[in-house]
Amino acid sequence: MMGHDEHMIIFRSVHKTFGPTVAVNQVSFEISQGECLALLGPNGAGKTTLIKMLLGLVLPGSGTVTINGISADMPESRAETGYLEEQQRIPTHLSGRQYLLRSAVLLGLQGDEARQEIKRVLELCSMSREADDNAGGYSKGMRQRIGLAAALLGQPKLLVLDEPTSGLDPFGIREMRLLLDRLHHAGTTIIINSHLISEVEKICDTVAFMQQGRIVLKDSLSTLLADGESLEDVFMRHVEKRDA
């Protein structure tokens, strides 16, 4: 695993409201190069808004978000970023391979280079056999695999994954975990937004708890679990403490 000696992502005093609702409340924290971070919190905590600001899909009301020193509202900040959304949408008239080809073209990949890259990510995501099937017949788990394959095109240095195991069976969840572990140890920076705390515990080395728009705790997994508790126990205790 790469050392965490450089901050790849920096949130500084980030604040975002939607009408009277405060979605993100003066959040400041960093994510280092090669770090695998889990973003955890109850529904409505602000996790999705934070991710969307990182991806330039939502602008902060105030504060700054940077990736490698470039403001997240600039397209070049995401040149080496792969994103998997929770509900993967693939046009039903396309095959998985055709969808990946369209994604590859958007990245500037063409011809043999695109075909070889698509072959690589299909193998990584165990979708080679079904790649030429119509996406309208895919299960949710199969759509998730193709979505992850699209996110891995071009070998991004940053992966942002929203509920990456959604729709996967236990075998698929294990495959996903092993793949992410391999990418992590190769130096990819990974951010996972997930409700499956038990899986996060097996993948990530850093955890950030978010509640009511704030990051209420960010620490290494080894420190959080030093007293022998499970991550779920730590999470529930911290949430209960904040709600008390």
pLDDT digits (tens, 9 = 90+) for 86-127: 878 899 999 999 999 999 999 999 999 999 999 999 999 999
Q: Is residue 149 part of a domain?
A: yes
Q: Is residue 166 part of a domain?
A: no
How many residues comprise the chain? 244
Q: Is residue 203 part of a domain?
A: no
Q: Is residue 100 part of a domain?
A: yes
Q: Is residue 97 part of a domain?
A: yes
Higher pLDDT, 198 or 19: 19
Q: Is residue 118 part of a domain?
A: yes
Q: How far apart are CA 106 and CA 144, in angstroms?
A: 20
Identify the band that residue 240 occupies on the pLDDT scale cut at 50, 70 and 90.
Answer: low
Domain that holds residue 140: 89-155
Specify the amino acid at residue 114: A
Q: Is residue 111 part of a domain?
A: yes
Q: Is the pLDDT of residue 3 over 60?
A: no
Identify the band that residue 1 occupies on the pLDDT scale cut at 50, 70 and 90.
Answer: very low
Q: Is the pLDDT of residue 21 over 70?
A: yes
What's the structural domain count of the chain? 1
Q: For residue 41, is it left (φ>0), alpha (ψ between -120 and 50) or beta?
A: left
